[in-house]
Amino acid sequence: KAQIESGKKQLAAGQSQLAEQMAMGQSEIDSRQMQVMQGKMQIYAQQTEIYSQLSTAQQTLETLSGFQARILEIEKAQGMLEAEEEMLAGVSEQLVTLTPLEEGFKAQLQAIEDDNTLSDEQKEQQKQDITSSELYIQTMSALAQIDTQLGAMLGITRAELPEAILRNQENQMQAQASLMVIDQALGAMNMSRADIPASIAEATQGMAQLRAGLDMLDQTMKGIDEGSVQLAEAEAELEKQKMSAVFKLSDTSAQLISGETALNTALMQAEQGTEQLEQARKEAYDQADLTKIITMDMVSGILTAQNFAMPAGYVSQDGQDYLVTVGNEFSSMDEIEKLLLFDMQMEGVEPVYMSDVAEVFFTDDSDSIYAKINGNNGVLLSFFKQSTNATADVSDNISARFKQLSDEYPGLHFTSLMDQGQYIYMIVNSIIQNLLLGALFAAVVLFLFLRDIKPTFITLCSIPISVLFAIVLMYFSGVTINMISMSGLAISVGMLVDNSIVVIENIYRMRSDGAPAARAA
């Protein structure tokens, strides 16, 4: 009996130990499952953030693409309006010469018709002489060609020409106003029309990087799901072993009644159950191994997602614009080595860092990336201006700094491969030269045709006075002197000279007909 009682005590101790070990195994599996759930929550949070960034980038891309399409449409319409304006101006200049000739011919034919001293045959003979003259034929042919051109291209007559010119000017003003509205919208985004292609490319690249990050997170989530399945299988196996051990212990307890032999058998079975429990626990640890979760693709995806930066706009302070970026790129090897790959937050299980699975080092790729300038080794530099600064000023400042550095460091030389500032200066000088030459040629041609210095001088004076008033109004309205405004001044000078010639010629003609100065003016 003493031995049986001792066996019962040992059986009770084995049952207690088995229950404790089973509880420890279950607790370990539950802790692992909790860590898996926390990992999933972290990935869900990262996916939500990336989806938000992707939506913002998509909206920005659609807005910029709409602006770009609208600008191309307006610029195309402006080109057509400018071609139409040039054609109308040419027709107007021809009509200045042809209209007086037509009216003169009509007046001569009417005078012959009203002359009662002539017979019908004499009237027809004189009319035939006028209508068969070379000047009359050329004049009527030119007017017929103008009528055909206006009807075929614009669907108007000569009488509707002034209205067509006014309508063309209004359409050009509307197109310019549309561009100003787009410029204001882009200005609210701290951008200009020139920045749209680069911003679209940056937004597209950023979206591609975000989608790549999402793909990497999806792969990581699949790996975690596989680990969850393995943990569930380990838990089922542990429960199976637990039930088996319980059944065996119950059987052993019943056999204790029959004697010492049954007690020894029960103790042996209890020891076998303990060994099976340890084996199941070991298998559970083996099945929860992270070697199948932390893969090369997972490491590459984490590096791509963490080493990410994209522009998010500008911040202005003290008149200076600063580019704001989203994300944080690596700046040192230490940051890469300390990059966290996986953390189960379990006691006894350390977090996995990049330095645990990979070697981080710098490599020299100078043998594959180099620059040759005039046969000498060199460094290729590219400078880009901010949208709020003038290209010519930035180019001059960079050139001045290059000269200063060349003087400070002997042997240091700078060679400019492309300078947009010089191109801008060339265009501005060309426009100014065209303005001056246009005014000079207009005065010379006017003098040759009118052969009078006074109307020529009046027309010549109207050009600088009008340009001066335009520049003053541009200054007070905030319009800068650039290629577009200078081109507009050049076009307006041409229109001004055209109008001045028409008015002076009309005054000159009426004065020649004997009209007083006040009426002629």
Query: DSSP for 407-473?
Result: HHSTT-----S--HHHHHHHHHHHHHHHHHHHHHHHHHHHHHHH--HHHHHHHHHHHHHHHHHHHHH
pLDDT (tens digit per residue) in 495-514: 877 787 788 778 878 888 88
Question: What are the tens digits of pLDDT across the range 22-37?
Answer: 777 777 777 777 777 7
**Residues 101 and 247 occupy one common structural domain:** yes
Please answer whether residues 320 and 388 qualify as being in contact, where contact means their C-beta atoms are separated by less than 8 angstroms.
no
Per-residue confidence (pLDDT) for residue 256, from 0 to 100:
56
Residue 219 lies in a domain: yes
- Give the position of tokens 């043998």: 367
Residue 127 scores a pLDDT above 70: yes
Residue 304 has pLDDT above 60, yes or no: yes
Would residue 288 count as lying in a domain?
Answer: yes
- Report the percentage of the chain scoring pLDDT > 70: 82
Nearest one of 424, 440, 438, 10 to 252, comparing CA atoms: 10
Last-in-domain residue among 285, 312, 339: 312
| Predicted local confidence at residue 224, as pLDDT | 72
Residue 311 has pLDDT above 70, yes or no: no
Poorest-pLDDT segment among 21-25, 145-149, 330-334 = 21-25
Average pLDDT over residues 221-226: 74
Q: Which residues lie below 8 Å from residue 178, measured CB to CB, with a gap of 6+?
A: 70, 74
Asked whether residue 234 is assigned to any structural domain, the reply reads: yes
Does pLDDT of 253 surpass 80?
no
Same-domain status, 65 and 206: yes
pLDDT score of 267: 59
Q: At which residue do the structure tokens 């989203």 appear?
A: 326
pLDDT of residue 404: 92
Residues 56 and 64: beta-carbon distance below 8 Å: no
* Same-domain pairing of 432 and 307: no
**Where does the pLDDT of residue 231 fall: very low under 50, low under 70, confident under 90, or very high at 90 and above?**
low
How do residues 55-113 score in pLDDT, each as one tens digit? Answer: 887 877 778 777 778 778 877 877 877 777 777 777 777 777 777 877 887 888 788 77
The answer to whether residue 340 scores a pLDDT higher than 70 is yes
d(CA 27, CA 465): 94
Of the residues 262, 292, 312, the one at which a domain ends: 312
Average pLDDT, the chain: 76
Give tens-digit pLDDT for 459-498. Answer: 778 778 888 888 899 889 888 777 788 778 778 877 877 7
Tell me if 364 is assigned to some domain.
no
For residue 368, being part of any structural domain is answered with no
Q: Which range has the top average pLDDT, 85-89, 231-235, 269-273?
A: 85-89
User: What is the domain-level CATH number for residue 438?
Assistant: 1.20.1640.10
Of 414, 412, 384, the residue nearest 399 (C-alpha): 414
* Total count of domains within the chain: 2
Residue at 392 is within a domain: no
- Tell me whether residue 362 is in a domain: no
Q: Among the three residues 272, 297, 312, which one is the final residue of a domain in this structure?
A: 312
> Average pLDDT in the 137-165 region?
78
Residue pLDDT, tens place only, 275-296: 765 675 566 555 555 566 677 8
Using CA of residue 175, residue 181, residue 185, residue 191, what is the dihedral sign? positive
Calculate mean pLDDT across residues 313-320: 76
Is residue 442's pLDDT more than 70?
yes
Closest CA to 91 of 137, 160, 169: 160
Domain of 494, in residue numbers:
420-520
Looking at the fold, whether 81 and 206 belong to one and the same domain comes out as yes
Rama region for 313: left / alpha / beta (φ>0; ψ in -120 to 50; rest): left
Judge whether 405 lies within some domain: no
pLDDT beyond 70 at 444: yes
